[in-house]
Structure 1
Amino acid sequence: MPPADRRLSPRRKPRQVRAELTRERVLTAAAHVFAEHGYAAGTTNRIAEHARISIGSLYQYFPNKDAILAELLVRHIDRGTWPQADQIDLSAGSLETMVRALVRDAIDNHRDDPQLLRIMIEEASFSQDLLDTIERHGRSRVAQISEILARHPDVRVRDLGTAAELIAFTVETNTHRLMADPQTIPIESFESELVDMITRYLRGDQ
């Protein structure tokens, strides 16, 4: 992981409802401005104008647009949990069904806005909050996958922890790349090939 960029630390943490609503307006406006105008042209003045607040009010919460983008990426990662993981009935489905649920969940979490996703991937700097969020999300995702692999009778890998790490990285990285540019490969083909690759790996197919 790269070191945290201290320039990205938020200037003010909202403690009142009104302040939290203003901060949310900034983030919502920024997502719209970045997606519509691109990151270079997505200035803090444009964001403030779209949020209908003064530029001074914006700077009370964020020191620059890099900090705003980092916070948008934190929100994106926090939405990417796997809430259905605990509901999977392993006795009722094949290993392929379980893998498909994992891959499809990752795809569904990245469908919102390809342009904004591409900007977050290509342009985001790393705040301490973003680094902490990436680490926390990674641990949670790997733990979920490892627990499911341990319960499925068809899994044949030697090291469940390493397998869970590899699967989490493979699914997240490839899904990010595809959904940021969904015209490269049909999503249905991507899902089928990725599911097949992971399933064969977990079964130990030669």
Structure 2
Amino acid sequence: MSTRIAKQRSVMRKEPRQARSRATVETIVLAGARILSDKGWAAFTTNRIAELAGVSIGSLYQYFPDKLSLVDAIRHRHLDDSMAVMRNVRADGLSPADFAAQLVRAVVAAHSVYPGLHRVLLDEAPSSEEYRNPHTKFEIEYLSYYAQAVATYRKRAPTEADNVAGRVISDAIDGVIHNAARRGSIDDPAMQRELVCLVSLYLGNDSATKKTA
């Protein structure tokens, strides 16, 4: 299990404002993500990250005061990337099976850029209480996305029952894909087919629609 730090997350020392500084921060974050994915938390040192990013250690500390602030930036980058691909898959006009297939492909793709990253973020790297706070902007948008998909197939505006169903779907997708990432089998087509089947059957379940209407 990942270590929980009972305090607010360690924030960046300063936000990059110019294009050059933003590019430097991006390079540092990507280098950190690659080291976590390929080598794990034990190898996640600021010296290694700076070397891989091609920047001085002083440049790294100019933006990130410690490793926790950098791993949080990597986490948020991963969440932002996941949300970005999900925004491109909408339930409107798609059958449940087509929506589920497109969504699973998109989420798998987001987790496949650095295939070992999520295992480390879940099991090794420390995290603050801010991570997965149910009231963060990300979590609100993330769960609303699934609730809206459920409501679309139930042909109504989202209700509290749809919010619950959305959490069930999101937890199912997260659980399957995150555990596949842990096992190194995220690219397993059989796993992906079964996950698509699970989600599409749930979304297209007429009896569930009648019970929650």
Q: TM-score category by the smaller chain?
A: 0.7 to 0.9
Deviation at residue 113 of structure 1 after TM alignment: 1.8
Deviation at residue 135 of structure 1 after TM alignment: 3.1
Aligned to 2:115: 114
1:154-169 equivalent positions in 2, closer than 5 A: 159-169=161-171
Q: Give yes or no for contact 2:89–2:99 (8 Å, CA) kept in 1.
A: no
Aligned to 2:88: 84
Distance 1:4 1:74, change over 3 A: farther
Q: TM-score, length-normalised on structure 2?
A: 0.77
1:85-100 equivalent positions in 2, closer than 5 A: 85-86=89-90, 88-90=92-94, 93=95, 95-100=96-101
Distance 1:16 1:4, change over 3 A: farther
Aligned to 2:18: 16
Q: Give yes or no for contact 1:85–1:144 (8 Å, CA) kept in 2.
A: no
1:40-72 CA-to-partner distances (Å, cap 9, x unmatched) read 122111112222322222112112222211111
Give the secondary structure class of the aligned counterpart of 1:11.
coil
Distance 1:133 1:47, change over 3 A: farther
For 2:178 and 2:34, how far apart are their aligned partners in 1?
A: 19
Distance 1:35 1:151, change over 3 A: closer
Deviation at residue 143 of structure 1 after TM alignment: 1.8
For 2:42 and 2:23, how far apart are their aligned partners in 1?
A: 26
Aligned residue among 51, 54, 60 for 1:52? 54
For 2:6 and 2:139, how far apart are their aligned partners in 1?
A: 17
For 2:67 and 2:5, how far apart are their aligned partners in 1?
A: 19
1:65-76 equivalent positions in 2, closer than 5 A: 65-76=67-78
Q: TM-score, length-normalised on structure 1?
A: 0.79
Deviation at residue 186 of structure 1 after TM alignment: 6.5
Deviation at residue 36 of structure 1 after TM alignment: 3.5
For 2:135 and 2:27, how far apart are their aligned partners in 1?
A: 24
Distance 1:17 1:142, change over 3 A: same
Coordinate RMSD, CA, aligned: 3.2
For 2:18 and 2:128, how far apart are their aligned partners in 1?
A: 24
Aligned length: 200
For 1:159 and 1:20, how far apart are their aligned partners in 2?
A: 42
Matched, 1:139 2:143: no
Segments of 5+ residues of structure 2 without an aligned counterpart are: 209-213
For 2:191 and 2:134, how far apart are their aligned partners in 1?
A: 27
For 1:12 and 1:152, how far apart are their aligned partners in 2?
A: 44
1:135-172 CA-to-partner distances (Å, cap 9, x unmatched) read 323322322222232222599xx921210111112112
Deviation at residue 198 of structure 1 after TM alignment: 3.2
Matched, 1:195 2:196: yes
Q: Percent identity?
A: 29
